[in-house]
Amino acid sequence: MERAILKSISAENFASFAEKIVFSCIADESKKEHKMNTFKIGDNIINKVSYIYGANGSGKTFFCKVFREIQRMVVLSPLFMMKKLPIKDLFPSEDLLKPMPKFAFDIAYKDLPTTLGIDIIIDEITYHYEFSVFNQMVVYELLTKKYRRTEKILERTSPSFEDIILKSELKSFEDNKHVVKKEALCLAMAAMLNNDLADTIVNAIKEINVVNMTYPRLDPTEIEAFSEERIKKYVKVLKKADPTIREMHINYKEEEVARQKIESDDFENREIIQKKTTVGVKTEHALYDHGLEIESGTDQIEFFKDESLGTIKLFTALPYLFDILEKGGVLVLDEIENGLHLSLVKEIISLFINEKTNPHNAQLICTTHQPLLVSNDVKKDQVWVISKDKFGKSFLKRLSDKNFSRAKVNLTNKILEGALGCNPEKFF
């Protein structure tokens, strides 16, 4: 089974998104150019690359956090059933434990739940999953599948496990649904207890890579990303930025930080094991004497301390790029151009468009300020605009939904002119 394909994602009463926003990777078939930069899966035509434009503070990073918030709930849900598990000790970032952020600038939204949703395609079957959270309790949860017809296989109408209805492939979890706590997702609990469908969907959600390019350090990833073959590829690319690099050594460390038994007779004395991973980088550089290389294998600089920020940013992205392009999947890059030259950013994007470098139809979703990324070979339905009104509400609109006077429009000029609503007001 290949990795899942993202069809859409939605959010309501989350951070700056007061009203419901829906982002879709489905190509707009009403447009003449709809098959360009796309691939077909079943009856769906999917865009390979999508752009999210917006001014500073418009909500681009919050858009990326929708993915992270869904993943956070999936990861944390099994831990909520523990009675004595020191959750705070397991997560170095307190952000993981904060309540889901609601829209903060209108008191009417304080009494409304936050709803997040995602549609993914697995083996040509579309799964729609959404949940609502209020006061840190899951008040609604829904999972449907669609192949020829739509079938509801999970529905939850209150925080109580008694109000969970399971059908089809999730019916086997019926006898264990009492373990679902008010704060936990039923789907995540079913996955932990080895329900095949739940496990498949949860893993598909967790495999979406969300990378903030403003962060200069490498987040831990799978050890396969640092094989000898992969490191050689990284060095080959990084030499274009720093021609003195000769070798790169990665210290990938994984350690167990907590082990807790699940306190229930139904779980056969099972345990949840929490692990922490760290990645260290050391590079060897050439040494010259009047232009002649006399020695290699030296470590004149510390990579994360002394290397240029652009080179570090490039290296930060490489493991995710190679993972996605070699295996398929979804990569979300927040501020893709941060620290990188425009031509390099365009080259990264072209890797996803090219069928040879992207044989598994990986998807790239990137937020950006850079209008020059939108050239003649970009369709209007690939471009989304986030704008914020005077009340602090962010809105997401697709350019293909806008009416243009001519069929062929220079999107770069339109963005620079401010006609599309994604430029900031004058600050000074």
Q: Please state the three-class secondary structure of 228-289 as a single string.
A: HHHHHHHHHHHCCCCCCEEEEEEEEEEEEEEEEECCCHHHCCCEEEEEEEEEEEEEEEEEEE
**How far is 87 from 26, CA to CA, in rounded Å?**
38
CB atoms within 10 A of CB 177: 19
Q: What is the pLDDT of residues 9-26, one digit of tens each?
A: 999 999 999 999 999 999
Which tops the pLDDT comparison, 331 or 256?
Answer: 331
Range among 47-56, 137-146, 387-396 rated most confident:
137-146
Torsion, Cα 226 229 235 240, to 10 degrees, reads -130
Model confidence over 380-412: pLDDT tens digits?
899 999 989 999 999 999 988 876 554 556 666
pLDDT bin (cut points 50, 70, 90) of residue 223 is confident
What is the distance, to the nearest Å, from the Cα of residue 163 to the centroid of all Cα atoms in its chain? Answer: 31
pLDDT in tens, 295-316: 766 766 788 888 888 888 888 8
Closest CA to 37 of 273, 390, 375, 291: 375
State the average pLDDT for the chain.
Answer: 84
| φ, ψ (nearest 5 deg) of residue 309 | -60, -40
Determine the 3-state secondary structure of 208 from DSSP. coil
Q: Any idea what DSSP says for residue 89?
A: H
Percent of the chain whose pLDDT exceeds 90:
50
**pLDDT of res. 265:** 46
Return the pLDDT at 205: 96
Residue 286 has pLDDT above 90, yes or no: no
Phi/psi for 25 (5° steps) reads -95, 0
Q: Which two tokens stand for residue 113?
A: 């739940």
At 266, the amino acid letter reads D
CA nearest neighbour of 349 among 93, 51, 128, 115: 51
Q: Tell me the pTM.
A: 0.87
Radius of gyration, CA atoms only, the chain: 23
Lowest mean pLDDT among 36-45, 227-236, 413-422: 413-422
Record the tokens describing residue 381, joined without a space: 């339905």
Q: Is residue 394 within 8 Å of residue 384, measured between CB atoms?
A: no
Look at residue 92 and tell me whether its pLDDT is greater than 60: no
pLDDT band at residue 292 using 50, 70 and 90 as cut-offs: confident
